[in-house]
Amino acid sequence: MKSVENKTTLLAKLMATVLLAASSTIIHAQASKVPAANAQATQAALDALIKAAKAEGEIRFYTAATENVGKRIVDAFNAKYGIRGTFVRINSIGLQQRFAAEAESGTYAVDALLNSGDSVTYAQNGIKRGWIDSIASANLPVITSGEFPSRFYREVCAVIQISPWSITYNTDKVKGADVPKDWPDLLNPKWKGQILLPDPRSSDAYTDHWTLLLDKYGESFFAKLREQNPRFYPSGVPALQSLAAGEGAYMVPVVLPQFTAVQEKGAPVAIFTPDTAVGNEIQITLVARAKAKNPNAGRLFANYVMSREGNKVVNDDPGSPTMYETAGLPKDYRSAKPGTSTRRPEVLKILGLQ
């Protein structure tokens, strides 16, 4: 009897092993087919989008990114897909106001927005009014495939460029031990009258920066900053030009593309990014499909600038990280929280502008 039982047990074990192996083979076979099927579906969706976008033939957008970035993207997108692009560069507040005014009147001049500052809140409000479609509803292949990093996906829009706010200084005036190492270095009384600031009313992205410093250092930081008698400029460009001309020692905050444009012309300037920083984040938002003149081109454009290939073009400046390679960001980099734009009156007050 024992012999029969042993044989039966052995046979059962062998059958279980065979079944387990077969089951495992089926599971692995199915698993290997899933990515291939997804890849095929993603490519098919992309091919259909390319065809529809080419039929429209162009993409138009407003951008808060610097002029060189806009041109670089347009040229690369045209080279890849044969779709011409045009853009208008406006600071974020002006961009939001212009698009809202046009939408209110039923005029839609662009297919996408490359906005900075509190783009999430702006997009949410635009969706409620029927002006904007969420990125989530666009079914972009770069999202459905899982390619785009979830860290920078905001559902209503998506981050495509991060330029950490930094300190730039005139190297003819600031040398040696005076070279900045952190934001409080600006408060040294020797620099009274030598601090140049862009007017925060020109962009919500400046609000992000100043609220970060307010939350980190408190109101005492701003009391000392006001004692420095800082000089305000309409935007970052004239402030940086004044710094390059020797009209100040420090200009804050500044982003790398702005700085690079001046430095490449031979200006005596240098840049430093403290460990704790928020950034000027450019986020892409889509105009509502029912309103945009080139909705498919707009969606292909969004897919491109969010892809690994296209995002490298967007961020093709020295020291500018892509959304796929963020090791170059400051150690304590923080994305601004949605709704920060509501703190603008608070920022204006602590800077002495109200």
- Taking the CB of residue 64, how many other CB atoms lie within 10 A of it? 27
Q: Tens digits of per-residue pLDDT, 305-332?
A: 999 999 999 999 777 899 999 988 999 9
pLDDT for residue 74: 98
Nearest to 161 by CA among 46, 342, 319: 319
Tokens encoding 76: 């690369």
Q: Pairing between strand 158-164 and 276-287?
A: antiparallel
Residues 140-164: what's their mean pLDDT?
95
Q: Tens digits of per-residue pLDDT, 245-274?
A: 999 999 999 988 889 889 989 999 999 999
pLDDT for residue 258: 85
Distance of CA 228 to CAs 176, 196, 222, Å?
21, 10, 10
* Helix-, strand-, coil-residue percentages of the chain, each rounded to 5: 55, 20, 30
- Burial class from Cβ neighbours inside 10 Å (0-12, 13-18, 19+) for residue 277 reads buried
d(CA 297, CA 80) in angstroms, rounded, equals 13
What is the rounded (10 degree) CA torsion for 232, 234, 237, 243? -20
- Is the pLDDT at 290 greater than 70? The verdict is yes
pLDDT for residue 32: 29
Q: Which residues of 39-62 are buried (b: 16+ CB within 10 A; e: fewer)?
A: eeebeebbeebbeebeebeebbbb
Q: Do 284 and 157 contact (CB within 8 A), yes or no?
A: yes
Ordered alpha helix ranges (H), the chain: 2-56, 67-81, 92-104, 119-129, 141-144, 204-217, 219-227, 236-244, 256-263, 295-306, 308-314, 344-350
Q: What is the CATH number of domain 46-162+280-336?
A: 3.40.190.10
Query: Residue 165 carries which side chain, given as an amino acid letter?
Result: W
Angle at 181 between CA 177 and CA 187, to 5 degrees: 85
d(CA 293, CA 288) in angstroms, rounded, equals 10
- Taking the CB of residue 3, how many other CB atoms lie within 10 A of it? 7
**In sequence order, what are the beta bridge partners of 113?**
62, 285
Residue 296 or 39, more confident: 296
Q: Tens digits of per-residue pLDDT, 88-135?
A: 999 888 999 999 999 999 999 999 999 998 899 999 999 999 999 999
Average pLDDT of the residues of the chain = 88
pLDDT for residue 205: 85
Banded pLDDT at 27 (limits 50, 70, 90): very low
- Is the pLDDT at 1 greater than 80? The verdict is no
Domains 46-162+280-336 and 165-279+343-350 share a fold: yes
Q: What is the DSSP letter of 25?
A: H
- Is the pLDDT at 17 greater than 50? The verdict is no
Q: Given CA atoms 301, 43, 315, 330 in this order, what sign does their dihedral have?
A: positive
pLDDT for residue 14: 33
Residues 41-47: what's their mean pLDDT?
95
Contacts of 141 (CB under 8 A, 6+ apart): 42, 43, 45, 46, 49, 147, 303
For the chain, what are the domain ranges?
46-162+280-336, 165-279+343-350
**In sequence order, what are the beta bridge partners of 80?**
none
165-279+343-350: which CATH topology? D-Maltodextrin-Binding Protein; domain 2 (3.40.190)
- Burial class from Cβ neighbours inside 10 Å (0-12, 13-18, 19+) for residue 350 reads buried
Q: Given CA atoms 149, 327, 252, 236 in this order, what sign does their dihedral have?
A: negative
Whats the size of the chain, residue-wise? 354
Nearest to 115 by CA among 135, 130, 141, 140: 135
